[in-house]
Amino acid sequence: MAVNIRRAQKQDLSALHKIEQGSFQTDRLSKRSLQRWIAAKDDILLVAENETQALLGYGLVMCNKGTRLARLYSLAVSAEARGQGIAGRLLAELEATAAKAGRLYMRLEVAKNNQAAIQLYERRDYRVFGEYSHYYDDDSDALRMQKTIRLVDETEVLRKTTWYQQTTDFSCGPAAVMMAMSSMDRVAALSQELELDIWREATTIFMTSGHGGCHPIGLGLSAAKRGFAVKVFINTQEPLFLDGVRSTEKKNIMTTVHYHFVEQAKESHVEIVYGDLVQAQVNELLAEGYAILVLISTYRLDGKKAPHWVTVTHADDACIYVHDPDLDDDRQLPIDCQHVPIARADFDKMSAFGSTRLRTAIAIKKEV
């Protein structure tokens, strides 16, 4: 069947209302609501029609201002057109349209007893991340699902970056360095042994709690030891990560470690650039053949305000994409942590850590 997908128009109102009435027993959109959605400028209401311009189905996505999320509010196909792949085609077009509008993720709710819809969403790579009890008018429960809809065009990525999952809670830094090295050295084996070696070389010894994390200069020294030219960007000359540590003894040790790393950097020709790594420099460094890892705050990811290293894989006008080594959720798959899109405005906020607004990044390049 020839199907055309387009924006809904005023003259579609009656046909839309008929599809709505025939598709749902409860939680129906009224004719007035549909009329309002047709007129909405920021939201997306698409219809599918056949060669005779008869409406076969529709999809509605809400795009609230101030968020990177799009929400699939409703998806319906007329009874006579079901089983022909129209819902999937509508959903694909809705995702593409929302991505062009600057949305990074699509989120939806679906009734737990609607297996056909759940299977459709799973085929389109949506993941369950939560549940609502008694969500619908008939008191049925709903699953919450989400998908990344702004994806990297692999043909535009300068270098292939192997994704590696950190094997401990404290080794995101080594994992990020290993991923960066992998983009320039295809034969390098990414292993837990290498991960722990780098951690021992780069650790701050202490952090707020638990094992120490990794110092940017320490990570840079580890990369230099393995044959890479290194630039470390830090926006302060003061010892790092002390604001989250209460013990004076721990602070003294972390200070000693910091200044020892600074001295080692001089001896190893690791360049330290005291200042912010601005986004324009990210583009320039990628173009010059550098791989980049950045320290971010996880507050916008998990609300924990923890320092976390990620590896930049690509950048375009709208987003900076990263490999995140932390697969910390049973519902996540490795693909969910690869080429994760971060809007440029959000990246500026995420790449400032702690009360001191620490910004630090590392650029490495294979020495000739």
Could you read off the pLDDT of 159-170 as tens digits, one per residue? 889 999 999 999
Cross-strand partners of 320: 315, 342
State the Cα–Cα distance between residues 159 and 14, nearest whole angstrom.
Answer: 51
Q: What is the pLDDT of residues 262-308, one digit of tens each?
A: 999 999 999 999 998 899 999 999 999 999 999 998 766 666 668 89
In which band, very low, low, confident or very high, does the pLDDT at 185 lie, cut at 50, 70 and 90? Answer: confident
Q: Which residue has the higher pLDDT, 301 or 44?
A: 44
Q: Is the sign of the CA dihedral 259, 262, 264, 266 positive or negative?
A: negative
pLDDT at 298: 79
**What gap in Å lies between CA 294 and CA 340, rounded to an integer?**
14
Q: List all residues 6 or more positions away from 260 whose beta carbon is below 8 Å from its beta carbon.
A: none
* Average pLDDT estimate for 96-116: 93
Of the pLDDT bands very low, low, confident and very high (cuts 50, 70, 90), residue 215 is very high
Measured between alpha carbons, how far is 204 from 198 in angstroms, rounded to an integer? 12
DSSP per residue over 138-179, as a string?
Answer: T---EEEEEEE-S---GGG-SS-------SSTT-HHHHHHHH
| pLDDT at position 187 over 60 | no
pTM above 0.75, yes or no: yes
Average pLDDT, the chain: 92
* 154-366 classified as CATH 3.90.70.10: yes
Q: How confident is the model at residue 183 (pLDDT cuts 50, 70, 90)?
A: very high
Higher pLDDT, 189 or 167: 167
Length of the chain equals 368
Going by pLDDT thresholds of 50, 70 and 90, the confidence category of residue 333 is confident
Domain ranges of the chain: 4-148, 154-366
CATH architecture of 4-148: 3-Layer(aba) Sandwich (3.40)
How high is the pLDDT of residue 123? 95
Percent above pLDDT 70 for the chain = 96
Q: pLDDT class for 6, splitting at 50, 70, 90?
A: very high
| Least confident piece of the model among 85-89, 163-167, 205-209, 363-367 | 205-209
Please tell me the distance from the alpha carbon of residue 291 to that of residue 312, in angstroms, as a whole number. 7
CA angle 262, 363, 160 (to 5 degrees): 145
DSSP 3-state of 187: coil
Between 327 and 163, the more confident residue is 163
Per-residue confidence (pLDDT) for residue 49, from 0 to 100: 97
Residue range 220-242, pLDDT digits in tens:
999 999 999 999 999 999 999 99
**323 Cβ neighbours under 8 A, 6+ residues apart:** 161, 163, 164, 176, 179, 310, 311, 313, 337, 338, 339, 340
Q: Contact 114/103 with Cβ under 8 angstroms?
A: no
H or E segment at 234?
strand 228-234
Q: State the pLDDT at residue 61.
A: 97
Residue given tokens 């698409």 in the structure block: 46
The one-letter code for the residue type at 154 is E
Dihedral angle over CA of 79, 83, 87, 92, nearest 10: -160
Q: Widest CA span of the chain, in angstroms?
A: 79
Give percent of the chain above pLDDT 90. Answer: 75
pLDDT value at position 329?
Answer: 65
- 334 band by pLDDT with thresholds 50, 70 and 90: confident
More confident residue, 58 or 189: 58
With contact defined as beta carbons under 8 Å apart, do 171 and 202 qualify?
no
pLDDT of residue 26: 87
> What is the DSSP annotation of 112-145?
TT-HHHHHHHHHTT-EEEEEESS-STT---EEEE
Look up residue 269 and give its DSSP letter.
T
Give the lowest-confidence range in 29-38, 130-139, 298-307: 298-307
Q: Which residues of 174-183 are buried (b: 16+ CB within 10 A; e: fewer)?
A: bbbbbbbbbb
The three-state (H, E, C) secondary structure of 91-108, written as one string: HHHHHHHHHHCCCCEEEE
| Rg, C-alpha atoms of the chain | 25
The band of 361, judged by pLDDT with boundaries at 50, 70 and 90, is very high
The torsion angles phi and psi of 324, rounded to 5 degrees, stand at -100, 120
Which residue in 165, 162, 129, 104 sits closest to 324, CA to CA?
165
pLDDT per position as a tens digit, 80-100: 999 999 999 999 999 999 999
Mean pLDDT on 31-53: 95
